[in-house]
Amino acid sequence: MHLMETYRRLPVSFVRGEGVYLYDEKGNRYLDLVAGVAVNALGYAHQELTRSLCEQAGKLLHLSNLFENPWQEELARELVNLFWTRGRVFFCNSGAEANEGAIKLARKYFRERGEERYRIITLRNSFHGRTFGAMSATAQEKVQRGFEPLLEGFDYAELNDIHSVLRAVRKDTAGILLEVIQGEGGIREAREDFLREIQELCRAEGLLLLVDEVQTGVGRTGRFYAYEHYGLEPDILTLAKGLGGGVPIGALLAREEVAKAFGPGSHGSTFGGNPLACAGARVVVEEVKKLLPQIERVGKYFKEGLKKLEVGEVRGRGLMLGLELEKDCTELPLRALEKGIVINCTAQKVLRFLPPLILEEVHVEEALSKLRETLLGVV
Ligand SMILES: *Cc1c(COP(=O)(O)O)cnc(C)c1O
């Protein structure tokens, strides 16, 4: 009764988790296919993650960015080693914050070069976060309504329609920001040819390519970064959600030349990249690197199983999957809880699956059988 009613919450109280399962206060077990919306990448009570966090908590939780921070340095080295080129990292605490940083960096990059280019093209149905910059980038009326005036400088184009992107380019356009698979928008995949044309457009016009991998990043799609599937070369990339395995952390990566536009005092964060969050993320990155083949394999198996249900279109890659139903699915997560699975409905009609990345084939079997029960007589 004391919380703002910003969320529609399901009537269940989870008290602990283990592996891919959650337990409520009565001891009932649920197979979790949402993982805190792509956050709990290693599932629950992961031994190495727990050990690392406890050990770090006993030494140093927080350290101001006034001081050297080897935890950030080590994590950044890992992230850059996995990036397509040399780059640098800025740490923050969430996806929205990472995108705010990305927007600021894109503007600053052109200012430093003495060019008046600041506008950013984003795509319909995208989701980039709830803060003013990120919300203004989010081309969805339902997210923006009531909060106008929005931040100036965003132009919207259609996903998979290169002509609409070309029409949105102006002489003061700085870059294009996109998700290679729209998550909140309903697991909508950017087509390979569309992304190739975007990349070519960016090269030809000197635009920055900003890829929002807050949901797709850190192994979710079977590659460490989802852009790798398409051979993209992003100038700026954002991460959050799965990166900390449950500890809040976000990151902004940029290739070296772009990153240089942020000098001392240009951007900052009090909590960003504190030792606790970095200690957690280090373990997540290590473990996810080993899990990539499994994510790809189990993801394919899950996707095939969803197709066999024959209830709607199945989309997505790795362990980021969507099943679009003919009708509204907002009531299904509650029904699913009664069957012992946690699922999510997004964009009205899309069941979205973002399980912990440690998911195995046996869990997929269980998921599909319980999903079949949930859908029985409904679709
Ligand atoms: C969730 C999400 C965000 C916002 O992240 P927060 O941590 O909630 O601020 C931004 N972009 C994408 C693609 C997301 O899925």
pLDDT, tens only, 183-192:
999 999 999 9
Average pLDDT over residues 27-39: 98
CB distance 96 to ligand 1 below 6 Å:
yes
Q: How high is the pLDDT of residue 201?
A: 98
Residue 379 pLDDT > 90: no
The pick from 127, 177, 218 for probing ligand 1's pocket by mutation, whose C-beta has the most ligand atoms within 8 angstroms, reads 127
Cα(248)–Cα(273) distance, integer angstroms: 9
Cα(85)–Cα(254) distance, integer angstroms: 9
Question: pLDDT category, 27, cuts 50, 70, 90?
Answer: very high
* Ordered DSSP codes for 199-256: HHHHHHHT-EEEEE-TTTTTTTTSSSSGGGGGT---SEEEE-GGGGBTB--EEEEEEH
Q: For the chain, what percent of residues have pLDDT higher than 70?
A: 100
The listed CATH number (3.40.50.2000, 2.60.34.10, 3.30.300.130, 3.40.640.10) that belongs to domain 49-285: 3.40.640.10
Residue 378 pLDDT > 90: no
CB distance 94 to ligand 1 below 6 Å:
yes
295 Ramachandran zone, left/alpha/beta (phi>0; psi -120 to 50): alpha
Model confidence pLDDT, tens digit, residues 303-351? 999 999 999 999 999 999 999 999 999 999 999 999 999 999 999 999 9
Average pLDDT over residues 68-90: 98
Q: How high is the pLDDT of residue 215?
A: 98
Q: How high is the pLDDT of residue 242?
A: 98
Residue 92 pLDDT > 90: yes
Ligand 1 atom at shortest distance from the alpha carbon of 131: 9
Residue 223 pLDDT > 90: yes
3 state DSSP class of 344? strand
Model confidence pLDDT, tens digit, residues 236-260? 999 999 999 999 999 999 999 999 9
CB distance 56 to ligand 1 below 6 Å:
no
Domain borders along the chain are 49-285
Residue 271 pLDDT > 90: yes
The pick from 97, 126, 128, 236 for probing ligand 1's pocket by mutation, whose C-beta has the most ligand atoms within 8 angstroms, reads 128
CB distance 128 to ligand 1 below 6 Å:
yes
User: Are 190 and 181 contacting, i.e. CB atoms less than 8 angstroms apart?
Assistant: yes
In which residue are the tokens 């997004």 written? 346
- Both ends of the chain: CA-CA distance in Å? 35
Model confidence pLDDT, tens digit, residues 55-67? 999 999 999 999 9
Average pLDDT over residues 178-198: 98
Ligand 1 atom at shortest distance from the alpha carbon of 130: 9
Model confidence pLDDT, tens digit, residues 147-177? 999 999 999 999 999 999 999 999 999 999 9
Answer whether 0.95 is exceeded by the pTM.
yes
Q: How high is the pLDDT of residue 377?
A: 84
Which 3-state string (H, E, C) describes 142-200? HHHCCCCCCCCCEEEECCCCHHHHHHHCCCCEEEEEECCEECCCCCEECCHHHHHHHHH
Ligand 1 atom at shortest distance from the alpha carbon of 213: 13
Residue 353 pLDDT > 90: yes
